[in-house]
Structure 1
Amino acid sequence: MGLITEVLLLPLAPARGGAWAIRQVIREAERIYYDPATVRAELARLEQQLEAGEITEEEFDRQEDELLDRLETGMHGGAGSGEGTAR
């Protein structure tokens, strides 16, 4: 960008900075959400809940499917790259 463009866009700098910060927060949240270690810990917690009788078999199966989908997404690297998020 040229100098004139930068001067004209200067009033928008706080908004551009805010948008950048929001993108960074979303990227980090996705990284944590799809992190295989996090998903495995949640799977272990889910199994403990089933064994303790805190959840039903059907609820376990539903949540396990969701967690396995997250694990697969995290293992294939599709998450945390900002893909699929609004920019």
Structure 2
Amino acid sequence: MGLISEVLLLPFAPVRGSGWVMGQVLKEAERIYYDPSTIRAELARLEEQLDAGEITEEEFDRQEDELLDRMESATRRSAGTDDGWSG
């Protein structure tokens, strides 16, 4: 970009900076969300809840399926084959 366009766009710098920060936060949140160790820890907690009688078998099955789907997505993402669409 030229100097004139930089000067004209200067008032929008905070917006562009905020957009960049939000993008970085989103990337970090996705990294944590799809981290296999995080998913395994959530599966362990889920099993503990079932054993303690805090959730029903049906609720356990539903949440376990969601976590296993997330684990599969994480595997595809790390292999670079996930296109971002599920279904």
Structure 1 length normalisation: TM-score?
0.85
Measured after TM superposition, the shift of residue 77 of structure 1 is 1.1
The residue that corresponds to 1:60 in the other structure is: 60
Unaligned runs of 5+ in 2: none
Structure 2 residue aligned with 1:12? 12
Cα deviation for residue 57 of structure 1 reads 0.4
Q: What residue number does 1:42 align with?
A: 42
In structure 2, how many angstroms separate the alpha carbons of the residues matched to 1:8 and 1:76?
Answer: 43
AA paired with 1:20? W
**Distance in 1 of aligned mates of 2:76 and 2:4:** 43
Which runs of 5 or more structure 1 residues have no equivalent in the other structure?
none
The corresponding residue for 1:27 is 27
Runs of 4+ aligned structure 1 residues displaced above 2 Å come to none
Distance 2:5 2:70 in 1: 42
Task: Give the drift of 1:6.
Answer: 0.9
Name 2:73's counterpart in structure 1: 73
Greater relative contact order: 1 or 2 (C-alpha under 8 angstroms, separation 6 or more)?
Answer: 1
Report the Cα distance in structure 2 between the residues aligned to 1:11 and 1:52, rounded to whole angstroms: 56
TM-score (norm: length of structure 2): 0.85
Identity of matched residues, %: 73
